[in-house]
Structure 1
């Protein structure tokens, strides 16, 4: 499962402090993402160079499912491309410009993939 966002003051509806000792902040229902089949996933593959010292990184976004499945997919892509990378915050980062190869590999696995960006 992908980590939930950190709570900030805006998440509490403007309540910053309460003198009522029995007051409890209302908790939102956390939605657990269901595991979608590969053919129902809509992934985007893009190249990113921003804030990386000019180095190119292939980014795969749009994955819906458990963190373990994301890490397994990331490991498969890194192995097939022969490079390093990571699975962070629901995205897969592959070091280098491997957009075409990643799109081809994901399509072979049955994912719906679009190339995004330049």
Structure 2
């Protein structure tokens, strides 16, 4: 008799909850019709990639920023409704966003 069977005998009316999968949270980001603008700049001599033009909730955009930073293993921030990523990762970011279903427009260069 394993632990699960013992728990069922002790608490017969208890219903076991199945934890939700994290991929459902990531896929629940609101998709928009207008393209997200992906542009390249240099600030203080260092390259950065800027994403702007998202019209959904700020929390969704922050989650998207966190996911991009984790997948690329780079630093960045979320300020003034813009995602700022350290380095020139336009191609990789654009491909990630297209895979998620976003329209992306490349600006500058």
Q: RMSD between aligned alpha carbons?
A: 1.5
Residue 65 (structure 1) shift:
1.6
Gapped regions of structure 2 (runs ≥ 5): 1-28
For residues 78-100 of structure 1, the C-alpha deviation after alignment (integer angstroms, 9 at most, x for no partner) is: 11111010111111001000000
**What are the residue-to-residue correspondences of 1:1-118 with 2, within 5 Å?**
37-49=30-42, 52-118=43-109
Gapped regions of structure 1 (runs ≥ 5): 1-35
Name the one with the larger strand percent: 2
Name the one with the larger helix percent: 2
Residue 74 (structure 1) shift:
0.2
Query: How many aligned residue pairs are there?
Result: 81
Is the radius of gyration larger for structure 1 or structure 2? 2
- For the 8 Å contact 2:30–2:60, the answer to whether it is kept is no
Stretches of 4+ aligned residues off by more than 3 angstroms? none
